[in-house]
Amino acid sequence: MAAHAAPPSPGGPDETPEAVAARVTGRSVTGRRRLSAGVTEVTLAAGGSVIVKHGEEARAVRAEAAGLRWLAEAGAVPVPAVRGEEAYWLVTDRVSPGEPTAEAAERFGRDLAALHASGAAAFGAPPPGGPREAYIGRAPMRDVPGAEWPRWYAEHRVLPYLRRAVDEGTVGPAEARPVEEVCGRLPELAGPPEPPARLHGDLWNGNVLWGADGRAWLIDPAAHGGHRETDLAMLRLFGCPGLDRILGAYRQAAPLAEGWRDRIGLHQLFPLLVHTVLFGRGYAGQALAAARSALRA
C-alpha cells in the first residue's frame, strides 16, 4: 500500500496563506497576491483582504504580534489590527494605500511624539506578552530591561552586533575601536536623561505606510522600551517622504533635548551594525562613520 503524506498541521510552516487566512477570519478565500517573500495579500469573500505573513521562527511572529498590539494600545500612530497569530503565521488587516502629503507627514510627527510619550516599563522592556528573545528584521534582538539608557544601549544593542561582526570577519578588531570608545563614553555622549519611550524599534521608511485615510501607518515593529531619538535617527537613516515636516511637527509636540542633531550618528550605530551583520561589509563603513561622528559631537 502506498504511503500518503500527512496533511499540513494547522499553524505549521507548511500550510498555505489561504488556509491560515480562512481559519483565522472564518471567511472563505477568493484570491491571493504575493507581495514579497513570506508576505501574501489574501482576498476574502464578501470583500476585504488581509495580510498573511510567514515567519521562520515562531518567536519572531509572537514578538511582532505583541509589538503591534502594544503600539495600538497607545492610540497614537495607527497600526494594522492583528486578526490572529498561529505559530509561524501572523494575520493582520490590510492598509489601503494612499500618498504621502504634507498634512499626513505633520500628523505623523505629532502622532509619533504621542506614541513615544505613552512610555514603557524600562529601557529594553519587551511588549506585554512578547518574548525577550525577539528580532529586528532577520537579526536576533534581546529585550532585556535596564535602568539607565547608556549602559543598556551599549550592552544590549551596540556591542552584541559589533562582536558578531568582528567574529565573522566583517569588521576588523582595529576598526572596532571607535565603536568601543563610543560605548565607553556613552554616559557623556547620550545627552540629558530621558524616560523610556514606547518605540517602534525598526522605523525605516519601508515600515511606514501612507494610507488612503491620509495618515501614516506603522508595520513590522521591533517594539521595545528605548530612547525616542533612536526612532527618529532611524527614520532619517534611509530617508522618508516629508521628513523635515515630520521632525518639525514632532518637535513642536515634544521638544527634543539640545544637541539632538549631534546624536543622530550615535543612535544610527545600532541599526547600521545590524545591517552589517545581516548584509555584510557594505554597511560596516557607515557604522564606523557613525561612531566617529558620535565621538566628534
Whether the pLDDT of residue 159 is over 70: the answer is yes
pLDDT at 288: 96
Residue 62, amino acid: R
**Cell numbers linked to 100:** 504621502
Question: Which of 62, 93, 124 is the C-terminal boundary of a domain?
Answer: 93
pLDDT at 47: 85
pLDDT the model gives residue 2: 43
**Distance, CA of 287 to CA of 162 (rounded, Å):** 10
Which of 40, 59, 93 is a domain's end point?
93
Percent of the chain with pLDDT over 70: 96
Residues 210 and 64 grouped into a single domain: no
Q: How far apart are CA 218 and CA 203, in angstroms?
A: 8
pLDDT tens sequence across 257-280: 999 999 999 999 999 999 999 999
* Residue 14: predicted pLDDT: 76
- Over residues 206-230, the pLDDT tens digits come to 999 999 999 999 999 999 999 999 9
pLDDT (0 to 100) of residue 9: 53
- Provide the percentage of residues in the chain whose pLDDT is more than 90: 92
**Least confidently predicted of 6-10, 56-60, 150-154:** 6-10
Residue 140 is assigned to a structural domain of this protein? yes
Residue 46 banded pLDDT, cuts 50, 70, 90: confident
Calculate the average pLDDT of the chain: 94
Stretch 78-84: mean pLDDT:
97
pLDDT digits (tens, 9 = 90+) for 19-35: 999 999 999 999 999 99
Please indicate, yes or no, if residue 1 is contained in any of the structural domains. no
Residue 292: its pLDDT value, please?
A: 95
Domain match, 87 and 216 both: no
Three-state DSSP at 222 gives coil
Which cell is 251 given?
518637535
Statement to judge: residues 31 and 155 lie in one domain = no
Q: Mean pLDDT across the stretch 177-200?
A: 97
pLDDT of residue 1: 40
In this structure, the answer to whether residues 128 and 150 fall within a common structural domain is yes
Decide if 5 is inside a domain. Answer: no
* In the block, residue with C-alpha cell 576598526: 175
CA-based angle 6:7:8, to the nearest 5? 115
Q: Residue 261 and residue 279: Cα distance in Å, rounded?
A: 27
Cα gap 260→294, rounded to integer Å: 11
In a domain, 215, yes or no: yes
Say if residue 262 is in the same domain as residue 233. yes
Nearest to residue 162, comparing CAs of 237, 270, 265? 270
Label residue 11 by pLDDT band (50, 70, 90).
low
- C-alpha distances out from residue 53 to 32, 127, 165, 167, Å: 12, 20, 29, 32
- Give the domain CATH number at 259: 3.90.1200.10
**Do 85 and 108 belong together in one domain?**
no
Counted domains in the chain: 2
Q: Are residues 59 and 186 both part of a single domain?
A: no
Q: Determine the pLDDT at residue 289.
A: 95
Question: Reduced to 3 states, what is the DSSP secondary structure of residue 197?
Answer: strand
228-237 vs 243-253: helix crossing angle, rounded to 10:
170
Range of the domain at 125: 102-296
pLDDT of residue 297: 74
The DSSP secondary-structure symbol of 87 reads: T
Q: Give catalytic residue positions.
A: 202
Cβ burial 54-77 (10 Å sphere, 16+ → b, else e)? bbebbebbbbbbbbbbbbbebebb
Q: In the structure, what pLDDT confidence band is assigned to residue 5 with cuts at 50, 70 and 90?
A: very low
User: What is the pairing mode between strands 139-142 and 133-136?
Assistant: antiparallel
Q: Are both 89 and 106 inside the same structural domain? A: no
Q: Are residues 288 and 164 in the same domain?
A: yes
